[in-house]
Chain A
Amino acid sequence: MKKPALERPVLLDVQDITRLYGPGKGCEAIDFQLHAGEVLGIVGESGSGKSTLLRVLAGMEAPDAGRVVYRRAIHESEAARAGAGEDVLDKGELERDEAELDLYAIGEARRRALLRLEWGLVHQNPRDGLRMGVSAGANIGERLMAQGQRHYGQLRATGQEWMRQVELDPGRIDDAPRTFSGGMQQRLQIARTLVTRPRLVFMDEPTGGLDVSVQARLLDMLRTLVRQLGLSVVLVTHDLAVARLLAHRLMVMRRGQVVEAGLTDQILDDPQHAYTQLLVSSVLTP
């Protein structure tokens, strides 16, 4: 048999990111690359800096130092292949021929356009990612409309299709999210985020606030969507079991720094750093 093609292009190049609120508070000197199609888990206890890092990566908070570079050259050909509603995308603010975007050098307007057009963010609390007062359908349609889709019937059909995809009753498309349970709200937020088929998705404890019985279904759904849409994901979680099931690769953070990184199985089955060993051996198994 022939040698397998194992190379994967780099999608996100994170160079020496520091964002500190005080000594040991925030994140410091973070360096890594996310490859296309990878799910990277960032694990650590609360206060380890993982959420700060995610905010910097996702364009919500400028770092004190370092660069976040998005290599979107590969995105174009893949989006064309997927036929992801390319004709309606209004990429005015994002020049299409630009291969690399330095997230905090491109300016506010273009950064917002990038977040709206090519990236997605799933908050831990669905109330932070949803508009609670407007209907489920409007929530799903909003990002599409921001991309220039205006056809009401089509937006509604897409909304119903995505509700089915995340196992919500499409008959509730006109109901406001505040009438949904927490698990349903989280699934709606995921539909709202993924409807534009982002290439890169950031998730902050996506199963965090949910009942255990709802978590399992959501985990399975996320795995399926990652595979079907070919998503690349940066996932922040304190839950090592969630990390095991979703992430290909892990970074372990402690006091703002990455203490260990590697394949998920290596980190969890053969941890090298004293802190990782402590973390892994402290997990309760029922």
Chain B
Amino acid sequence: MLSETSASPKRARPRLTVDGLHKRFLLHGQGGLEIDVMRDLSLTLDAGECLVLAGRSGIGKSTLLKMLHGDYRIDRGHIRLHFEDGELDLETLPAYAWHGLRRDVIGYVSQFLRVVPRVAAVDVVMEPLLARGADENEARQRAETLLARLNLPERLWRLPPGTFSGGEQQRVNIARGFIGEHPLLLLDEPTASLDATNRDVVITLIGEAKARGAAMLGIFHDEDVRERVADRLLPLDDSLGARASVTQNTQETLS
């Protein structure tokens, strides 16, 4: 069990609690290789705070975010969201219930942009709002405002991001992630390939999200950014995972 380094001075209501989370990958194609990427991880995240995950690469930081977003299955342990009128346990949530949860509650800014090819950047950004039935003009305006704040040149807004540079794609991704103002935001290195100016914009966006009460869990390799956004640090170390072991061959014959 891991303890958090510094408790925030005044405790708000928790928005998220994670208790005794485990994750093991079993690779059938690798002779039944088992990789324990996470062991007994627990944390609490309050509304309006940003908790930053720290630790060497491969320690399971992204894995945690993916489990919280439903991209990875939850093998063992509990993930619980807290609302004014009750709680929601994610490890027992049926698949269909995740659609609405991702649309309205849990937002995710991944490192890589994955979109339909040939769709314009501005349409990519406004999609989370349209999914909630927002007015198209209003959604477009908010998307353009965000892209402008992130200094994406206006001539690129109507172009599909497939041919954009890494930094430009990342800014499209950030705009798409922040536009929905989700109450829980998962940030997987949103500033990785940005210049100093745009890093500052992202830091401001994170500050605004805190101000409106969003809870954030993030990975930031840039120490300067980390210091400026983190309310608390959660260091992950080897006691938590990244150990591989080969068990008996469980591979099914695939003929």
A residues contacting B by CB (< 8 A) are 1-8, 35, 37-38, 216-217, 219-220, 223, 227, 244-245, 248-249, 261-263, 265-266, 269-270, 272-275, 277-278, 281
Least CB distance from A211 to B in Å reads 13
Q: Which 6 A-B pairs have the closest CB atoms?
A: A274-B28, A6-B97, A216-B117, A265-B71, A3-B83, A274-B252
Report whether B100 and A8 are in contact in the complex, using a CB–CB cutoff of 8 Å. yes
Closest to A212 in B: B117
B88 touches A272 (CB 8 A): no
Q: Select from chain B the residue with minimum beta-carbon distance to A250.
A: B95
Partner of B254, one of A2, A3, A249, A274: A274
A4 close to B105 (CB less than 8 A): yes
A6 nearest in chain B by CB position: B97
Question: Is B196 interfacial (CB-CB < 8 Å)?
Answer: no
Contact (Cβ within 8 A) B73 A262 = yes
**Are B29 and A277 in touch, CB under 8 angstroms?**
yes
Verify if B99 is at the interface (C-beta below 8 Å from A).
yes
Q: B96 touching A272 by the CB < 8 A rule?
A: no
Residues A227 and B131 in contact, CB atoms below 8 Å apart: yes
Query: B254 contacts A275, CB within 8 Å?
Result: yes
Which one of B28, B95, B183 lies within 8 Å of A249 (CB-CB)? B95
Q: CB distance B116 to A223 under 8 Å?
A: yes
Cβ-defined contact, B254 with A278, below 8 A: yes
Residues of chain A lying within 8 A (CB to CB) of residue B29: 274, 277-278, 281
Chain B residues in 8 Å Cβ range of A38: 96, 99
Residues in A with CB closer than 8 Å to B28 are 273-274, 277-278
| B116 engages A249 (CB within 8 Å) | no
CB <8 Å contact, A270 and B101 = no
A269 touches B116 (CB 8 A): no
Task: Give Cα A279–Cα B251 distance, bound, in whole angstroms.
Answer: 14
B164 interfacial contact with A, CB 8 Å:
no
A38 to B104, CA, bound (A): 16
Residue of A nearest to B93 (CB): A6
Answer whether residue B10 sits at the interface, using C-beta atoms and an 8 A cutoff: no
Q: Are A266 and B72 in contact (CB under 8 A)?
A: yes
| Complexed CA–CA distance, A227 and B134 (Å) | 12
Using A227-B131, A277-B27 as known contacts, say yes or no to A8 and B70 having CB atoms under 8 A apart. Answer: no
> In the complex, which residues 82-103 of chain B have their Cβ closer than 8 Å to any Cβ of chain A?
83-88, 93, 95-101
Known: A265-B71, A266-B70, A274-B28. A8 touches B96 (CB 8 A): yes
Contact B100 A6 (CB under 8 A): yes
Task: Name 17 A/B residue pairs within 8 A (Cβ), A-sorted.
Answer: A1-B183, A2-B84, A3-B88, A4-B105, A5-B100, A37-B99, A220-B116, A220-B118, A227-B131, A249-B95, A261-B95, A263-B70, A263-B71, A272-B26, A274-B251, A275-B252, A278-B254
